[in-house]
Structure 1
Amino acid sequence: MELDLQQIPRIKGISKEEFLKEYFIPQKPVIFEDLSADWPAAQKWDFDYFREKAGDVVVPLYDGKPAKGHQKSHGPAMKLKFSEYIDILEKGPTDLRMFFFNLLQNCPELLEDFKYPDLGVKFFKKLPVMFVGGEGSSVVMHYDMDLANNFHFNFAGRKKVLLYPPEETKYLYKVPYSIVSMEIINMDDPDFDKYPALAKARGFEAELGHGDSLFIPSKWWHYIKYETPSLSLTLRSLPRSPGKILEVLKNLVVTRNYDNLMRKLQGQKWIDYKNREAVRRTHKNAEIDL
């Protein structure tokens, strides 16, 4: 048994009118093969360049271990200079990742290496963020709490991406009071005996290499596996419809704070309860009787 996945389409030379009509408005993922071709970043951005430009910047690094007990959320495993982290990446496989690294705050000169594409989309220019991961590391299946439309530009390295639209949520073992799937599930080799609903989910897959840019629509689930050490930039477009803005506020103000409070009060008991509920609710919604 395998996951039901189809390839994300790849395009070149699309106009903003075509992009809006074919992908952005209907909220469909697509890979641009040439969107960053004229950026200085396309020629410059590799690990040697970042060692030179940002090597002394101290960055938080996260591992693959889920938050436990009374922890509010999964905090950084350690903090290192960027150059020291690059040394680790070059030595071999590691689960250490750097995510949501704000270029504007930490390395403003790097802003000259890219530009916001003319796609008819309003970008949130205060938050260009970088993601870096070591060979073999992965990002748990999730969607973004702020429901942003993401434009993910890959530079050094290769990564595998799985995407699922919001309507497939009922099959993805969503953990209550969160925006993640169960962290114990190995999306590279799912245990369909334990998690049979995954076989019903219909999703998309792609491998991103240097110069590929992936459009991830708002509230789409995404799982990322770093096939090699990889460095990427994400530009974000925040939701503008009243319904989604209200949902974002609920996520940030109500759901996240309630979850953190229950973690503080009940610790691991709360986490175990949520995981049991994720299985129970998914099997009920997917009409699976175990």
Structure 2
Amino acid sequence: MTEISSPDQVHGVAVAGSEPAQSQLNLGTLERHDDISPEDFYTKYFKPRRPVVFRSFSKAWPAREQWTLDYFREAHGDIMVPVYEEAFADSGAAYGASDDRMPFREYLDLIEAGPTRKRLFLFNIFKHAPELCGDFDFPRFAPKWARRHPFMFFGGQGSHVDAHFDVDMSHVFLTQFHGTKRVVLYGPEWSNHLYRHKFTVSHNVDLGNPDFDRYPRLADAKGYECILEDGDTVYMPSGYWHYVYYETGGFSLALRSPITGPAGRMHMLYRVLALTVGDYSMTKLLGQKRWYAKKEEMAQRKADRLP
């Protein structure tokens, strides 16, 4: 849900069948509200940074009725869209590059037909169709919004986005329109239990098929799980790890509230510099494979030292 330039920012690897192993992970169920006021939301969830699922976020949006697969196919089907697959995590010049481009309508036909690994990731359709911005607003559930950066996410049944947290440290409001997603969340306090790689916002753990022999401290991490259906919005606080699995083909819209205050901005700047300068420099120095192995080794050592 942030711009990416390397697999350690957001792995983004879509593999059919990588459904979160909720029976093995230590996951609680997120609280849900059909209707909550902006004032209550701020006090109970935004200020203390507690994730939650609620439905009042998008209740006034024309997009709720208008945005369907058929609508996008008919009104905007000629847009050429970047499609991502496994190669999204390749090294070298392929960092952040899409695997393919195709007309939007062909992609929508693909995800409607059945399981597929192909996804649209951080898709800013609003650059191509700015009139769509009139179909939603930025509700009073956050004090500030990144109004220039709404992003859409489309995926086929069985695809997933590997666990990561966003490098800009924004609060994310992810609203589901079509289809069903499973979202797994962990707070930033569990980063060492999740074996985070140095300088990055990601790790090597597959939450869809966790290897507890290799990553034993993962079992101690306490996270949350929710199922998103049409009309649901999940609030993901700044710094939260998130793993998304498409139970069916579908799409969602992410609105972002930037982190505020001097300390928050410094943290965001550190994360961006660590990723774009630190990780990139070490990759150039040691080579992709050697540096990746070193990060994995350091993550293992740090987890082994946990009390």
The answer, yes or no, to whether TM exceeds 0.5 is yes
Task: Give the Å deviation of 1:267.
Answer: 2.6
- Larger deviation, residues 131-140 vs 63-72: 63-72
Query: What corresponds to 1:123 in structure 2?
Result: 145
- Larger deviation, residues 248-257 vs 81-90: 248-257
- Larger deviation, residues 148-157 vs 62-71: 62-71
Question: Moved runs in structure 1, 4+ residues, more than 6 A?
Answer: none
- Give the structure-1-normalised TM-score: 0.92
For residue 211 of structure 2, what is the amino acid of its counterpart? Answer: D
Task: Give the Å deviation of 1:72.
Answer: 6.8
CA distance in 2, matches of 1:260, 1:23: 35
Is 1:207 the equivalent of 2:227?
A: yes
2:43 to 21, 24, 42: 21
Contact 2:142 2:257 in 1 (8 A): no
> Once superposed, what is the RMSD of the aligned Cα atoms?
1.8
1:152 to 174, 196, 208: 174
2:270 to 245, 250, 255: 250
Percent identity reads 38
Contact 1:154 1:231 in 2 (8 A): yes
- Larger deviation, residues 199-208 vs 115-124: 115-124
Contact 2:121 2:152 in 1 (8 A): yes
Query: What corresponds to 1:162 in structure 2?
Result: 184
Query: What corresponds to 1:30 in structure 2?
Result: 52
CA distance in 2, matches of 1:208, 1:134: 15
Number of residue pairs matched?
Answer: 284
Residues 36-55 of structure 1 aligned to structure 2 (within 5 Å) = 36-55=58-77
Query: What corresponds to 1:70 in structure 2?
Result: 92
- Larger deviation, residues 31-40 vs 154-163: 31-40
Is 1:241 the equivalent of 2:261?
A: yes
For residue 156 of structure 1, what is the amino acid of its counterpart? Answer: H
Spell out, residue by residue over 1:84-141, the C-alpha distance to the aligned partner (whole angstroms, 9 max, x if none): 2112212321121111112432221111211111225211111111011111111111
Structure 1 gap segments, 5+ residues each: none
- Give the structure-2-normalised TM-score: 0.87
SS at match of 1:234: strand
Structure 2 gap segments, 5+ residues each: 1-22
For residue 297 of structure 2, what is the amino acid of its counterpart? Answer: R
Contact 1:171 1:198 in 2 (8 A): yes
For residue 198 of structure 1, what is the amino acid of its counterpart? Answer: L
Query: What corresponds to 2:9 in structure 1?
Result: none
SS at match of 1:145: coil
- Larger deviation, residues 150-159 vs 57-66: 57-66
CA distance in 1, matches of 2:153, 2:174: 9
